[in-house]
Chains A and B, each alone.
Chain A
Amino acid sequence: MHMADALISPAVGGVMWAATAGLIGYSAKKVKEEMNERKVPLMGVTAAFIFAAQMINFTIPATGSSGHLGGGLIMAILLGPYAAFLAMASVLTVQALFFADGGLLALGCNIFNLGFWPCFVVYPLLFKTIAGAQPSRGRIIAGSLATAIVGLQLGAFSVVLETLASGISALPFGTFVLLMQPIHLAIGVIEGFATAAVVLFVWKARPEIIEASATAKPFEAVSIRNVLVGLGIATLITGAIVSWFASGQPDGLEWSMFKTSGHEELEAPEGVHQTLAGLQEKTAFLPDYGFKAPPKAEGEKELAESWPAISGGTSVSGLIGSVLTLLLAALIAVVLRRRGAAATGNIKHPF
């Protein structure tokens, strides 16, 4: 359920990046306060454990397929919500960079969908209430199942909302929900049982590990509320800004029948680039070098107005031009590769 860059719009990606960056900053602050820098290697190695554990499968009786451990829940149980959120974010970053599993722009969405729900919402509300301070076999199984199922349902639903808001896929809301939720119900059941099996084993072998994390630190309940409130405010503000910029740009909408209401605002180029330009200013990298966006925003308006007008005549010349451009790009690449290999004497790869 990792989202790809190809299916999201810059506005959705940017908003989710901002939300996730805020959460990472907040979690980092909390972890730092809590430290205990003993937790630093613990977090890192636990995240690596998630990767390794996902390579171990078990067979699911009567289906012939196999399942493996998910990530967020077991880390929340072992590390607590803040450290677990950071660890989950790091796992998803490595997956995006090395396995291209989920894109870079979509990374904010993915961290939110797979990290925020299990770590900050479902684990404290469900797992802690059910498995609680006095864990038993049944409570651990019930808690893991409920947490995994609800967490994945929320995550899958977020995927649906983010994809719809981006407007690249033509899937209508109802169909997409009917596709995503049942699949993730099944995955949730499997993940719940897998997590329960591992937690039960650890609970028997080293009960102090599970119990130490189950006894809540008092500040957590309060600060999670803060996170939620802050996040809500941030979302409202960003949403308001985006729709405000977009509302003055009512072009090219009516010719697509399957757009759900509201997403046109997000797609409108001017709003997008205002938001992104704002973000760039906020991150304040090389503020004097103006590769921000003002000239771009103008030009895009023209483009946005012109792109619905694809006609038969222009598409032929477009095709010819595309092929030529691609050949040109390939030619440049070949020349550079020859020259590079000759100059540095690097390893030669078969093309």
Chain B
Amino acid sequence: MSSISTHAYDLGTMDRLSRQDTSVHRLDGRAKLLTTLVFIVTVVSFGRYEVSAMIPFFIYPLVLCSLGNIPLVYLVRKIIVVAPFAILVGIFNPIIDRQILTTLGSAQISGGWISFISILIRFTLTVWAALTLVAITGFNAVCAALEKLGVPRVFVVQLMFLYRYLFVLIDESLRLVRARSLRSFNGKGSGIRTFGSMVGHLLLRTLDRAQRIHQAMSCRGFSGEIRVLRPASFGLGDVAYVLGWSVLFVGLRLFNLPHLIGNGLTRLFA
């Protein structure tokens, strides 16, 4: 129960964060979407044993969260919640791949551990970037950006509808679950029979709701297109944003910055 409510609350928090007015919130959605994609592709294009070269990429989500006034603790908690899958698949690497690749002092480190750490880092980076995108852009602006980039309108409208009615239907199903748990004792009544009629009722109500929505929208002149108020214009700032970050990503992909710094320092003190 509590996990369900936090899920619903979560959606609300993301939506609230995306309604702020900061320098990154004001950028065009397309710019942020494209930059995020460039970022993710660059990060996952690293070889499976790469660790240090990926570290500088943390600058991107960190800077965006700072500029966009996004609470770090909140995002980190969200990342941890979804981490088990990556950990589960990744943990087999140290078990299977035992070839020693490097030594740190006297400790020998196998390829499996290095690739496991690599998986965790790329997981954190990619998930963080995706969550940051929504937190500084907002779902509707992401949808508008998708449409401008050529995604079929039917699909974009579908996304917007889904998002709009998500809140309503989640509330409704929360009420259903609460009502059932108040009436079921000793686990009675929480079996599949009750489940079938509960979800079935929710479905019938949903279908009726869809019909009412459609009638209401037809009355107001809906023609299969959703109009958004916020004017989207791709300005010079947006171009600079995309280009600046992309150049940085490519540069960091080509040159292993931590290695350069580390080498320089060890040479300095050696």
A residues whose Cβ falls under 8 Å from a Cβ of B: 2, 4-10, 13-14, 24-25, 28-29, 31-32, 35, 37-38, 40-49, 51-53, 55-59, 61, 66, 69, 78, 86-87, 89-91, 93-94, 96-101, 103-105, 163, 167-172, 175, 193-194, 196-198, 200-202, 205-206, 209, 252, 255-258, 267, 269, 272-273, 276, 283, 285-286, 289, 291, 295-296, 299-300, 303-304, 307-308, 310-312, 314-322, 324-326, 328-330, 332-337, 340-341, 344, 346-347, 349-351
Among B110-134, those with CB < 8 Å from A are 111-112, 114-115, 118-120, 122-123, 126-127, 129-131, 133-134
With A48-B162, A202-B203, A291-B242 known, 19 other A-B pairs at CB within 8 A are A6-B44, A28-B155, A45-B210, A48-B166, A52-B166, A86-B155, A90-B162, A91-B162, A103-B40, A273-B45, A276-B41, A291-B38, A291-B247, A300-B254, A310-B49, A314-B263, A321-B258, A332-B63, A350-B71
Binary A-proximity of B12-25 (CB < 8 A = 1, otherwise 0): 00100000111100
Taking a contact as CB atoms under 8 Å apart, the answer to whether B44 and A96 are in contact is no
Instruction: State the interface size on chain B (CB cutoff 8 A).
Output: 147
B residues whose Cβ falls under 8 Å from a Cβ of A: 4, 7, 10-11, 14, 20-23, 30, 34, 36-38, 40-41, 43-45, 47-52, 55-56, 58-59, 62-63, 65-67, 69-74, 78-79, 81-82, 85-86, 89-90, 92-93, 96-97, 99, 101-105, 109, 111-112, 114-115, 118-120, 122-123, 126-127, 129-131, 133-134, 139, 142, 149-155, 157-166, 168-170, 172-174, 176-177, 187, 190-204, 206-207, 209-211, 213-214, 217, 222-224, 239, 242-243, 246-247, 250, 253-254, 256-263, 265-266
| Residues on B with beta carbons closer than 8 Å to the beta carbon of A267 | 47
| Residues on B with beta carbons closer than 8 Å to the beta carbon of A51 | 162, 166, 169-170
- Kindly state the separation between the CA atoms of A205 and B247 in the bound complex, as whole angstroms: 60
| Residues on B with beta carbons closer than 8 Å to the beta carbon of A324 | 258, 261-262, 265
| Residues on A with beta carbons closer than 8 Å to the beta carbon of B172 | 52
Interface pairs (28), CB distance under 8 Å: A10-B41, A28-B152, A44-B210, A45-B207, A48-B206, A56-B173, A56-B198, A86-B155, A87-B158, A98-B10, A99-B7, A101-B82, A196-B196, A197-B193, A304-B47, A307-B49, A307-B50, A311-B102, A316-B104, A317-B265, A319-B262, A320-B261, A324-B262, A326-B58, A334-B66, A344-B22, A349-B69, A351-B72
Known: A43-B158, A100-B78, A197-B192. Contact between A314 and B259, CB under 8 A?
Answer: yes
| Residues on B with beta carbons closer than 8 Å to the beta carbon of A303 | 47, 253-254, 256
Whose C-beta in chain B lies nearest to the C-beta of A351? B72
Query: Which of A91, A320, A334 lies in contact with B266, CB distance below 8 A?
Result: A320
| Residues on A with beta carbons closer than 8 Å to the beta carbon of B152 | 24-25, 28-29
Known: A51-B169, A300-B253. Contact between A205 and B111, CB under 8 A?
Answer: no
Taking a contact as CB atoms under 8 Å apart, the answer to whether A333 and B127 are in contact is no
Taking a contact as CB atoms under 8 Å apart, the answer to whether B102 and A312 are in contact is yes
Taking a contact as CB atoms under 8 Å apart, the answer to whether B55 and A169 are in contact is no
Known: A55-B174, A329-B56. Contact between A201 and B196, CB under 8 A?
Answer: yes
Taking a contact as CB atoms under 8 Å apart, the answer to whether A320 and B262 are in contact is yes
Taking a contact as CB atoms under 8 Å apart, the answer to whether B101 and A310 are in contact is yes
Whose C-beta in chain A lies nearest to the C-beta of B149? A285
- Kindly state the separation between the CA atoms of A87 and B101 in the bound complex, as whole angstroms: 46
Taking a contact as CB atoms under 8 Å apart, the answer to whether B78 and A90 are in contact is no
Count A-B pairs with CB separation below 8 Å: 422
- Kindly state the separation between the CA atoms of A69 and B246 in the bound complex, as whole angstroms: 41
Minimum C-beta distance from B4 to chain A (A): 5
**A-B pairs, 3 with minimum CB distance:** A44-B161, A197-B196, A321-B262
Taking a contact as CB atoms under 8 Å apart, the answer to whether A105 and B126 are in contact is yes
| Residues on A with beta carbons closer than 8 Å to the beta carbon of B59 | 328-329, 332-333
Known: A98-B14, A194-B195. Contact between A7 and B89, CB under 8 A?
Answer: yes
Taking a contact as CB atoms under 8 Å apart, the answer to whether B127 and A103 are in contact is yes
Taking a contact as CB atoms under 8 Å apart, the answer to whether B162 and A52 are in contact is no
Taking a contact as CB atoms under 8 Å apart, the answer to whether A316 and B266 are in contact is yes
Whose C-beta in chain B lies nearest to the C-beta of A51? B166
Minimum C-beta distance from A84 to chain B (A): 11
- Kindly state the separation between the CA atoms of A265 and B234 in the bound complex, as whole angstroms: 38
Minimum C-beta distance from B12 to chain A (A): 11
- Kindly state the separation between the CA atoms of A196 and B127 in the bound complex, as whole angstroms: 35
Taking a contact as CB atoms under 8 Å apart, the answer to whether A59 and B191 are in contact is yes
Taking a contact as CB atoms under 8 Å apart, the answer to whether A94 and B262 are in contact is no
Query: Which of A43, A56, A296 lies in contact with B176, CB distance below 8 A?
Result: A56
Known: A98-B11, A321-B262. Contact between A59 and B187, CB under 8 A?
Answer: yes
